[in-house]
Amino acid sequence: MLRDVTIGQYLPGNSLLHRLDPRSKINGVLFFMISLFVINNMVGYWLMVISAVGMILLSRIPLKYFLKGIKPLLLIIILTVILQALMTPGEIIWQWKFLHVTKEGLIQALFMGTRLVLLVSITSLLTLTTTPIVLTEGIEKMLNPFKVIGVPAHELAMMMTIALRFIPTLIEETDKIMKAQAARGADFESGNLIKRVNALIPILVPLFLSALKRAEDLATAMEARGYHGGEGRTRLKELHFAGKDYGAFGMAVILLLAAIATRVLF
């Protein structure tokens, strides 16, 4: 059962969004987020909603995957909406004891809710259309300029790659250790919280030991294969910034400008 865990939530596909360079997508998400916080009126929100729906349609990913992304955050979203509705001062339209809902509050709540839902959807869109490994490469490339101020771009990316490579292996190992402990009578299911946490110790200790051993082996193997950091290293698959990526970049800039325009004009 543990083996079925997937990393990230990539959904294979061949839409335009799937084929975009990861850098364009990350950049697009960043611009979208900034725009989301620039807008402050109805026109602006309509602009963002329409562009988000447009992108989701373009990705050809079923809506249920986005709802799945929103679900874990539903409580926070609802709480934020209620607080906004109750706390904003203004024209009172409903009152009960000390609680009162204002017209301004309702509008603010609607805006806040939309903002959060869009935020979650658009980041889901990024991870749904991009494999973790390509995403890592994109992040590495985007961090490259910051190397001069000491950001270890290559090292971070390498660490993420290795983590992605070893998560399934370690999950398998956890499974094995749990079964071995269960075979010797360990009980992970019953008892109160403290008891259950205690039962995890005999799993974690061997797991950590083996992870450290793996790390040592891997480091030796990497060295033996001539790894000496990112300096002078080339890649099998280079990222290509194609025409569609410039297009995507242009669209992102236009979106941000439009968002600013709604704020100024309306």
Partner 1 sequence: MIQLENLTHTYSSEQGKNVAVDNISLEIHKGEHLAILGQNGCGKSTLAKHLNALLLPTAGRVIVEGMDTKDESKLWQIRQTVGMVFQNPDNQLVATTVEEDCAFGVENLGLEPKLIRQRVDEALATVGMSEFKEKAPHLLSGGQKQRVAIAGIIAMRPQYIVFDEPTAMLDPHGRSEVIQTMQKLNKEENITIINITHFMEEAVLADRVVVMDKGKIAFMGTPKEVFRQVERLKALHLDVPVVTELAQAIGAETGIDGDILTIEELVVSLCR
Residues that bind partner 1 (CB under 8 A): 132-133, 161-162, 164-165, 168-169, 172, 213-214, 217-218, 220-228, 232-238
DSSP 2: G
8 A C-beta contact, residue 39 and residue 264? no
Closest distance to partner 1 from the beta carbon of 181 (Å)? 21
Closest to partner 1 by CB, 184 or 237: 237
Closest distance to partner 1 from the beta carbon of 23 (Å)? 17
Closest distance to partner 1 from the beta carbon of 210 (Å)? 10
Closest to partner 1 by CB, 214 or 244: 214
The separation between CA 213 and the C-alpha centre of its own chain, rounded to angstroms, equals 30
Q: Position of tokens 């294969």?
A: 225
Say how far apart CA 68 and CA 25 lie, in whole Å.
Answer: 21
Please list, in sequence order, all residues whose beta carbon lies within 8 angstroms of the beta carbon of residue 21, skipping any fewer than 6 positions away: 138, 239, 240, 241, 242, 245
Closest to partner 1 by CB, 190 or 234: 234
Closest distance to partner 1 from the beta carbon of 216 (Å)? 8
Closest to partner 1 by CB, 161 or 181: 161
Q: Position of tokens 């979650």?
A: 120
8 A C-beta contact, residue 119 and residue 33? yes
8 A C-beta contact, residue 134 and residue 22? yes
Closest to partner 1 by CB, 1 or 264: 1
Closest distance to partner 1 from the beta carbon of 142 (Å)? 20
